[in-house]
Amino acid sequence: MADPEFQHALEEFASMQWRSGIRAEEIGSPQRIAPFSIAMALDFVEDDEELGTGRLILLHDPAGNENWEGRFRLVSYVRAEVDQEMVTDPLLPEAAWSWLTDALSKHGAAHRALAGTVTASYGRGFGELTTHQAEVEVRASWTPVLDNRHKMTVQLKAWQDLLGHISGRPPLPRGVVQFPGRS
């Protein structure tokens, strides 16, 4: 039987209205880290092209976890290919990290114990493998503050904004409509 707090969080996951272009599916979740967990694979897709990908895991330990500073923990991974010029920009890690912190703030997603890394990498193929790949990834985890005023939904909306940013499709201001992409 699921813990009532975790069951409520699951209901919020299930009712989340993901932004257009985001494909979400539940995947296997870690079983040894916490008594309860759910994991989602989310991809930002436009015109059948994957612009970015991510994983979001919710861990729950009803007894609490001293390292988490709470009973819940969100674990996040997002990644996208970027231009080579972007990956060599020394400000990219700070900018990518701010996509997360700004999104949490924008949505009023109260949290604590935020930690993570930003990695920018460039790979060059040789011989038969002539493709070049530059990418940025953000790995983060934080403890969401969940109570009568702070819901899981705002955490999910903030994470959705992070996925949009890293995919090159940041959230638009209210009332602004994005024109369809060109081939």
pLDDT value at residue 81: 92
In the block, residue with structure tokens 């972007």: 86
Enclosing H/E stretch for 62: strand 49-65
Taking each helix axis from N to C end, the angle separating 152-166 and 92-106, rounded to the nearest 10 degrees, works out to 150
Q: Tell me: the pLDDT tens digits for 46-98?
A: 999 999 999 999 999 999 999 999 999 999 999 999 988 888 999 999 999 99
pTM metric for this prediction? 0.89
pLDDT value at residue 150: 85
pLDDT value at residue 162: 97
pLDDT value at residue 176: 60
Residues 6+ apart with CB under 8 A from 139: 76, 77, 116, 117, 118, 119
Most confident of 1-5, 59-63, 83-87, 167-171: 59-63
